[in-house]
Structure 1
Amino acid sequence: MQEATRIPPVSPVRVEADPDEPLSRWLWLVKWLLLIPHYLLLALLWVAFVVVTVIAFFAVLFTTRYPRPLFDFNLGVLRWSWRVSYYGANAFATDRYPPFSLGERPDYPARLTVVYPERLSRGLVLVKWWLLAIPHYLVVGILTAPPSGREQASPPGLITLLAFFAIIAVAFTATYPRGLFDLIIGLNRWVLRVVAYVALMTDVHPPYRLDQGPRDPGTENPTTLP
């Protein structure tokens, strides 16, 4: 009897990215400066993201529904952030300047979608954003190395460190190492799945699995590379 092919657990969070070549060898040196307008706007948007998530918490608790306008706003903030991260220090994988947009941009090399849930669990909304996500918080802390609150600067997270190695390779060889690209996208994918989960946008617990590569193999409509 032929063994059935094992299908990975489905995630409603779809994170994808296209390798963008050729890349400038030196533009990455000033990308942080070019992204300042995005950082200022995203700082405000993430404050709103937190407020919207709190409102959604009570909406789900009393109605089991995440109001669609609130869901779309938070999804837009995640999309915007992913595009900026892909352009900047979380990947350095494109020279296409990210758009100032909350909407879906299928033409941009970094894309993110989250399937809208018609119903969410009242019970899970009480615990998933803190108790159930604790193991993932530990992983995300290593990947992103958030500020420690101390006077000295925090060390870069693993994702930023790998992206720096990748862009150094581009500077000397004009080629983004494909294996490193796949790993960086997989690590960003893990982080974004966790963020969507703790923001109450899905009841599907993020898998403890590193799905590498530009195409997301663990989503409801998986695609294959050509």
Structure 2
Amino acid sequence: MVFVLLTMVAFVAILVTGRYPRGIFDLNVGVLRWAWRVGYYAYSALATDEYPPFTLAEQPSYPASLTVEYPERLSRGLVLVKWWLLAIPHYIVVGLLTGPQFSYETAQGTRYQGQIGLIGILVLVAAVLLAVRGTYPRNLYDLVLGLNRWVFRVAAYACLMTDVYPPFRLDQGPEDRVAAVGPAPAS
């Protein structure tokens, strides 16, 4: 909830000043970073046995990392449309990758909630392969990582942290090629 509320505060600040307040930016990046570490450990990648540290700060020793460069200036006009209108095509893709949410209640009153999309299905396949063969196939790991990169790029864009439009590209492997592109010029 804090992430959403602070993103709304940042929206107003960007609209008025063209800047994302640094403290809010750092906190929101930390929340995304922590969410990625938890996902890497569990439901989004199932890629490590190392329990994620409970901190919003960067942890170089942890196998999952997420960095969003602080933008000195952001487009005041773009802030009005990028999070909803421009992001619609990506929302469709992310919806397919993460899947719809569902919930149901048993006759005994137990409530179950879940979400399964392409990433969830691939991670389930990885879990079965890990249980049966004891290994995570490199190609499957790279695919899962690439799909998660897409989701987090869209999250950073839609949450107003960058003006760089997320590419419609699946970056697989150990490096994220988008980082080499650099930030877009602010208008």
Identify which of 6, 9, 13 aligns with 1:59.
13
Alpha-carbon distance in structure 2 between the residues aligned to 1:109 and 1:178: 15
Alpha-carbon distance in structure 2 between the residues aligned to 1:146 and 1:50: 20
Identify which of 132, 153, 170 aligns with 2:130.
170
CA contact under 8 A between 2:102 and 2:115: conserved in structure 1? no
Residue in 2 that maps onto 1:190: 150
1:59 partner letter: A
Residue in 2 that maps onto 1:98: 52
Alpha-carbon distance in structure 2 between the residues aligned to 1:209 and 1:51: 30
Specify whether residues 149 and 134 from structure 1 end up closer, same or farther in structure 2 by C-alpha distance, changes over 3 A only: farther
Per mean C-alpha deviation after superposition, the further-off stretch among 161-170 and 48-57 is 161-170
- What do the CA deviations read for 1:81-103 (whole angstroms, capped 9, x no partner)? 00000000111110000011000
Residue in 2 that maps onto 1:205: 165
Identify which of 121, 138, 144 aligns with 2:92.
138
Give the aligned length: 176
1:161 partner letter: I
Identify which of 104, 117, 120 aligns with 1:157.
117
Residue in 2 that maps onto 1:109: 63
**SS in structure 1 of the partner of residue 40 of structure 2:** helix
Specify whether residues 160 and 216 from structure 1 end up closer, same or farther in structure 2 by C-alpha distance, changes over 3 A only: same
**SS in structure 1 of the partner of residue 12 of structure 2:** helix
Structure 2 residues without counterparts, runs of 5 or longer: 106-111, 183-187
Structure-2-length-normalised TM-score: 0.89
The question of 1:78 aligning with 2:38 is answered: no
Deviation at 1:215, TM superposition (A): 1.5
**SS in structure 1 of the partner of residue 140 of structure 2:** helix
Deviation at 1:196, TM superposition (A): 0.3
Cα RMSD between the aligned structures?
Answer: 1.8
Specify whether residues 57 and 149 from structure 1 end up closer, same or farther in structure 2 by C-alpha distance, changes over 3 A only: farther
Alpha-carbon distance in structure 1 between the residues aligned to 2:89 and 2:98: 15
Structure-1-length-normalised TM-score: 0.74
Deviation at 1:213, TM superposition (A): 1.2
**SS in structure 2 of the partner of residue 138 of structure 1:** helix
Alpha-carbon distance in structure 1 between the residues aligned to 2:39 and 2:58: 16
CA contact under 8 A between 1:71 and 1:201: conserved in structure 2? yes
The question of 1:220 aligning with 2:180 is answered: yes
- What do the CA deviations read for 1:90-129 (whole angstroms, capped 9, x no partner)? 1111000001100000110000000100000011000000
- What do the CA deviations read for 1:44-99 (whole angstroms, capped 9, x no partner)? xxx00000000000000000000100000000000000000000011111000001
Alpha-carbon distance in structure 2 between the residues aligned to 1:139 and 1:192: 12
TM superposition outliers: structure 1 runs of 4+ over 4 Å: 148-155
Structure 1 residues without counterparts, runs of 5 or longer: 1-46
2:150 partner letter: W
- What do the CA deviations read for 1:2-43 (whole angstroms, capped 9, x no partner)? xxxxxxxxxxxxxxxxxxxxxxxxxxxxxxxxxxxxxxxxxx
